[in-house]
Structure 1
Amino acid sequence: MIRARRPLTTAALLAATALTLAACSPGADDPGGESGTDGDGTTVTFRLWDEVAAEAYETSFEEFSAQHPDITVEVEVIPWGDYWTQLPLDVQSGDMADIFWTNTSNFGTYADNGTLLDIDETLGEDHDEWEQSVVDLYTRDGVNYGVPQLWDSIALFYNADLVEEAGIDVADLQWRPDAADGDTLLEAATALTTDAEGRHPGDDGFDADARETYGFNSQADLQAIYVDFLAQNGAQFQDPETDGFAFDSPEGVEAFQYLVDLVNTHQVAPSAADTNVNGDFSRDLFVQGDLGLFQSGPYSLPHVAENAEFEWGLAPMVAGPEGRIGVVHGVAAVGNAESENLEATTEVLRWIGSAEGQAPLGETGAAFPGAVDAQQSYIDYWSEQGVDVSVFVDAAQEPTAPSPVGAQINAGANVITPIFQDMFLGAIPVEEALAQAQEDGNAEMGIE
């Protein structure tokens, strides 16, 4: 269904995607607060990196305190730029909060070194239903360490005017290696790409340097693009047994070759010279009305809804040979195993894992809550804005590809990212780039 632009006041999505290392809001000037006993009650500290989420939690904790007058929750906001630097220092010094946010790229270190509470042991089965794909992300060696708070999945934003003019059915776009039989994405992206004279790629005289519209956002985007394409072709980003990179496979080469060809051979996607230096370049093109198909997550919703002055809609993500398989990423709250207030901390963890406790997160339209019964609040918020977000819910129920995990994954990502960017530029052949990235990345992580 087509969605028209409506003015919004919501803030950007809060969940920081694995390996993108991008924050969505400034932090408080004073993180403040220490856990401990306050008079006749107990104070539990809760740390996160997002101001907007902090406001929602403050609302939530007002009700919690009404039900638990002997427990006070102090919310600390540490800006994203400082969060992961401060966390290990505070863990080492014993000053870490009782409960804190984490993402999949960072939690493995703390799970492995005994910093985190075993959630299964702490809460047992006495909790509301959680989004299972997020639970799986924070389950390591059979132990769940995270209480799901926020999550996002992947769908396809489309420019209704451009799509209608090109005669494209966005409901079931498919890709195949080498654009073989069954591929409809390349044809659609070609029809949506035009130069200043209205010519399409493949037409005589087509001028790629004068493109005015583009077809699809093929780029070095881990969550929205390449991990999905890998999974849809039967490849893996990581080996689930070792956490080592495993994308250098025949299926992996096929997936990346298709994506790189969309950029450099078929010229239906923006140049990597632009998308490598600005991860939001494709999003901005879409908002300007210059990109027909934009595969992304609900984290792009606020910006699109506030700024797109044309009719747009949401459709299922592009499907590959093995169907629609997309990345679901989530933010979890974890408990500090060294907390001096274990009983009170347990009660707070139970509360922020409940639909009642998470409802304020959804009611702001900021993100899908991790508690299943709280998700309707997010759906209702966007429905009031004229946006049907059910496609993201459906995507989370489909087979999913795991977000990057592992104690050393950030170190490995720092190695492979520039190689992938050069590959999308066409500076390194795909086979060579994947082999080099996997070898160097695994070496950096100490994985043979």
Structure 2
Amino acid sequence: MKSSTIAVLSVILGVVLLVTAALWLGRDTEASGRTVVRLRIWDQSFVPAYRAALDEFQRANPDVEVRITVVPWASYQQKLRLDVAGGTADDLFWTNTYTDYADAGKLADIGAMLGPDAARQWDPDAVTQYTRHGKLWAVPQFVDGGSAIYYNRDLLAAAGIEPAQLGELTWNPHGPDTFRPLLQRLAAAAPWAYNAANDFQSIELPYLGSAGGRFQDGDRYVFDSPQGVDAFGYLTSLVGAGLTPPAADTRTGSDFAKNAFLQGKLALFQSGSFSLSSVAEQAGFPWGTAMIPAGPAGRVSTNNAIGIAADAHTDHPGAVRRVLSWLGSAAGNRYLAAGGQTIPAVVADRQIYRDHWSHRGIDVAPFFDVLRGPRIESGGGPGFTAALQAIDEIFDEMFLGRIPVPEALHRARIAAQDAAAG
């Protein structure tokens, strides 16, 4: 046989093998007959809890196998958009900004899939967050609770401050303000007193809400109101006074403030329950939690939820329905609460979470108590992710002191509207 013929046959054989391998790797049904359902999340630390929950599911449903894929948060949203647009998304995936997908017909109607009674067991705020045009577009998995303050007991003691004083604090740029004087006392005992920064959920929304403002009115952005100027003006003044870590280190998405707290360099760290596990495991000093300061409109926080959405065009709607039904049930959702991982969306499982931390001597009440008062919506609507990205760059400059607050808010609102409109 000629060498040229052998070369051609080798190429053909190679192509056949590659195609065969691709088909095999892309199979959604194993040789055993099991249907493979793929679940995409962005946090590796949740894999053990989900794996335990899904192993129990698979024991009761041996014809279905659920595989977990972790895509890091830094690239999650961009990759998801590309995969949804290209029809290569996983059958199930975490979401917190779902509107564009729902409006484009890319998501399954959860109410139609699981029935109208399924939502009764879930956190009402989470159900509201994932409801649009009268339809539910995700199965809530966990909520963040409200923002609270983590405090370093040693640094408070060094400043002569009792933890109980934290629950009585108020901030107000135009009236009685007990928060700033306390921060000034703490600044004498620690490198930094507090973490005022471009942190949308834990800092900016609570301050905007407690100033009496709103982030959105429907799909319109309205944060450049007089109340918004008060809220962001107060925050940036704390940065300018050196009471916080430098804004260059705490740009959006940065863990600098949390790390500074864990290193004993930050006295007060305002964040959500999602920071609880890392603080509990890594803080080498006595600490506790307290309520956030009250603003002119009181204490206001948000209660963001993470849900699992289903690809509207999945090849396995029956298997997907069974998996979602399990993960949205009390029996399936409890795995997320068992180790104190997060606050489960199934209300009946909340006590498991509370008991875990209570047994460790940690009070989680502030994350729940702040939600008894007024709340500010965490935002949403068409183009919301793009709008936040447009805002972040301008807000970073505002916290750096390079753009005056009124001008920055005005520019950010216009940028958000333009980005959302596409």
Alignment TM-score, normalising by the size of structure 1: 0.81
Q: CA offset at residue 155 of structure 1?
A: 0.7
Q: Distance in 2 between matches of 1:185 and 1:89?
A: 45
Q: 1:100-144 CA deviation, whole Å, 9 max, x = no partner?
A: 11123xx11111101111222221233361112222221222322
Give me the whole-angstrom Cα distance separating, in 2, the residues matched to 1:152 and 1:33.
35
Instruction: Tell me which protein shows more helix as a share of its residues.
Output: 2
The answer for the alignment partner of 1:54 in structure 2 is 47
1:330 corresponds to 2:322: no
In 2 relative to 1, CA 141–417 (structure 1 residues): closer, same or farther, beyond 3 Å? Answer: same
What secondary structure does 2:193 align onto? strand
Residue of structure 1 equivalent to 2:5 = none
| 1: CA distance, partners of 2:203 / 2:338 | 29
Change (3 A) 1:120 1:397: farther
Pairing 1:142–2:134 present: yes
User: Following the alignment from structure 1 to structure 2, what is the Cα–Cα distance between the partners of residues 44 and 290?
Assistant: 45
Q: Following the alignment from structure 1 to structure 2, what is the Cα–Cα distance between the partners of residues 145 and 235? A: 28
User: Are 2:161 and 1:167 equivalent residues in the alignment?
Assistant: yes
Please say if residues 152 and 328 of structure 1, whose CA atoms lie closer than 8 Å, have aligned partners that are also in contact. yes
Q: Give the structure 2 partner of residue 300 of structure 1.
A: 275
Moved more, 83-92 or 109-118: 83-92
Given the superposition, is the C-alpha separation of residues 291 and 96 from structure 1 closer, same or farther in structure 2, using an over 3 Å criterion?
closer
- The separation in 1 between residues aligned to 2:355 and 2:232, in whole angstroms, is 37
Change in Cα spacing, 1:145 to 1:44, as seen in structure 2 (3 Å) is same
Equivalent position of 2:7 in the other structure:
none
Q: Which string of whole-angstrom CA distances, capped at 9 and with x for unpartnered residues, describes residues 136-156 of structure 1?
A: 221222322111112213111
- Report deviation, 1:353: 0.4
Q: Give 1:375's match in structure 2, choosing from 346, 350, 370.
A: 350
- 2:54 and 2:66 in contact (8 A); partners too: yes
Q: Which secondary structure does the structure 2 equivalent of 1:258 belong to?
A: helix
Asked whether the equivalents of residues 143 and 303 of structure 2 are also in contact (C-alpha less than 8 Å), the reply is yes
**1:362-413 residue CA offsets vs partner (Å, 9 max, x unmatched):** 2233221211122233323323333222322333444322223233222222
Whether the 8 Å contact between 1:192 and 1:215 is mirrored in structure 2 is yes
Does residue 1:218 correspond to 2:196, yes or no?
Answer: yes
- Relative to structure 1, the CA distance from residue 95 to residue 268 in structure 2 (aligned partners, 3 Å threshold; closer, same or farther) is closer
**1:274 aligns to what SS in structure 2?**
coil
Which whole-Å CA distance do the structure 1 matches of 2:370 and 2:114 have between them? 28
2:211 to 214, 233, 252: 233
For the structure 1 residues 90 and 216, does the alpha-carbon distance in structure 2 shift closer, same or farther, using more than 3 Å as the test? closer
Aligned twin of 2:122: 130
Deviation at 1:48, TM superposition (A): 1.9
Are 2:320 and 1:345 equivalent residues in the alignment? yes
Q: How high is the TM-score relative to the length of structure 2?
A: 0.86
Give the Cα–Cα distance (whole angstroms) in 2 for the partners of residues 33 and 389 of structure 1: 44
Kept after mapping to 1: 8 A contact 2:195/2:270: yes
Structure 2, unaligned runs of 5 or more: 1-24
Offset, 1:96: 2.6
Structure 1 unmatched ranges of 5 or more: 1-31, 199-211
AA in 1 matched with 2:127: V
Distance 1:163 1:272, change over 3 A: same
Q: What is residue 106 of structure 2 aligned with on the other side?
A: 115
Q: Would you say 1:313 and 2:305 are equivalent positions?
A: no
The answer to whether the 8 Å contact 2:100/2:381 transfers is: yes
1:190 paired to 2:184: yes
1:58-77 to structure 2, matched below 5 A, reads 58-77=51-70
Q: Where in structure 2 are the equivalents of 1:20-31 lying within 5 Å?
A: none
- The alpha-carbon deviation at position 310 of structure 1 amounts to 1.9
Identity of aligned residues (%): 39
Task: State the SS of the aligned residue for 1:216.
Answer: coil
Aligned residues: 393
Asked if 1 retains the 8 angstrom alpha-carbon contact of 2:300 and 2:371, the reply is no
Q: Which amino acid aligns with 1:261?
A: S
Task: Kindly state the Cα deviation for residue 277 of structure 1 after the two structures are TM-superposed.
Answer: 7.7
Secondary structure, in 3 states, of the residue corresponding to 2:121? coil
Q: CA deviation at 1:177?
A: 2.6
CA contact (8 A) 1:173 1:185 kept: yes
Are the aligned partners of 2:229 and 2:406 in contact in 1 as well (CA < 8 Å)? yes
Tell me how far apart the structure 2 counterparts of residues 213 and 258 of structure 1 sit (CA, whole Å): 20
- Say which SS state the counterpart of residue 304 (structure 2) adopts: strand
The verdict on how the C-alpha distance between 1:41 and 1:286 changes in structure 2, with shifts beyond 3 A counting, is closer
Where does structure 1 differ by over 6 angstroms across 4 or more consecutive aligned residues?
none
Distance 1:309 1:317 in 2: 23
Larger radius of gyration: 2
